[in-house]
Amino acid sequence: MVFRSEDVPAADRLAFWAERMGNTHAPVRLRSDHAHDFRASQRVLALGAVSVWPATFQQVVIRRTPQLIRRSDPELCHFSLVMRGTGTVDWDGHEAAYRPLDLHINDSSVPWEVRTGRAPVTAVGVEIPKALLPLEGGLAVRRLPGRMPAHEGIGALLAQFLTQLISDTTPYQPTDGARLGSVLVDLCAALLAHGADAEHALSKETHSRTLILRVQRFILEHLHNPQLTPSAIAAAHHISISYLHRLFQREEATVAAWIRRRRLEAARRDLADPALRTLPVHAIATRWGFSRAADFSRAFRTAYGTPPRDYRSQAASS
């Protein structure tokens, strides 16, 4: 679903955006220097009980007051990945500033105020029912830092997942929604536990699912390295090789097979890229961790039914 403030008269646009925030997160009060002609747009992706909403909006002050909480509380935990713009947030006696590539966290049950900077803000919001967060013993969001970095650790995993999700939804079927929502719940729960230095609060299931995502991200970042082996991956994550193999049983592929598939997919993209047409096939193979050109050609033909040189020719003529 897509919403644009331009779809309503200028005088009604700030009220329209307040209604959107109420429907997407929880009832709030808004004010803006651009109240006479407020500009905002929002896309909403429903992933089972979880929703994701990339949005861009002008300078605004958003308040979730005690009165609004008493009137209506959907019991949601909110995460925002800030892509562009700046601002500050006050909640429960705390204050935090945020900037691009920060993750902002709040709780619909806690009063807060967000003040954005003068420039428009682009962010990706995530709404998760608190009852779904698999945190044993409970973990109060209000005691967490309001801003967490998205360039490292669990924050980077969450940011990467959200960025990929909103950039292209065409590979997904409607039946994938609940599964994608479950992945988001696990990542957000892991981020909360990390922020509170309480990884022990995560359920074993969530810990395993989050770990496999970390391992897969590590693999993707090191595909070029021919020494990327199960033992090297296990050592980098301080786990045994046998536990690594158990993690990949859910992926319907062994660790080695998962690595090979990702390398072949990357090589296939390069072979079809006109900008890389003069790069020799063996150089592309080396670029993605295949130390022997013959092994690469054999694996590529098995996977795609044609030798890499022929695939490049076909891609160039299509």
pLDDT digits (tens, 9 = 90+) for 139-166: 555 555 467 778 878 888 899 889 988 8
Instruction: Report which of residues 94 and 197 the model is more confident about.
Output: 94
The SS3 of residue 253 is coil
Tell me the longest C-alpha to C-alpha distance in the chain.
70
Q: What confidence score (pLDDT) does residue 128 get?
A: 93
What CA–CA distance (Å, rounded) separates 19 from 13?
10
Query: DSSP labels for 148-189?
Result: EESSSHHHHHHHHHHHHHHH--TT--GGGHHHHHHHHHHHHH
Residues in contact with 160: Cβ distance below 8 Å, sequence separation at least 6, in sequence order: 217
Least confident of 84-88, 206-210, 222-226: 206-210
CA distances from 72 to 28, 50, 66, 216 (A): 10, 19, 10, 40
Query: DSSP labels for 84-146?
Result: E--EEEEETTEEEEE-TTEEEEEETTS-EEEEE-SS-EEEEEEEEEGGGS-BTT---GGGS-S
Instruction: Give the phi and the psi of residue 231 in degrees, each rounded to 5.
Output: -65, -40
Q: What confidence score (pLDDT) does residue 135 get?
A: 63
Q: What confidence score (pLDDT) does residue 225 get?
A: 93
Q: What is the pLDDT of residues 175-201, one digit of tens each?
A: 788 888 888 888 888 888 766 554 555
Q: What confidence score (pLDDT) does residue 56 get?
A: 96
pLDDT at residue 250 is higher than 90: no
pLDDT at residue 317 is higher than 80: yes
User: Using 50, 70 and 90 to split pLDDT, how confident is the model at 17?
Assistant: very high
Average pLDDT, the chain: 87
Mean pLDDT (whole number) for 117-140: 81
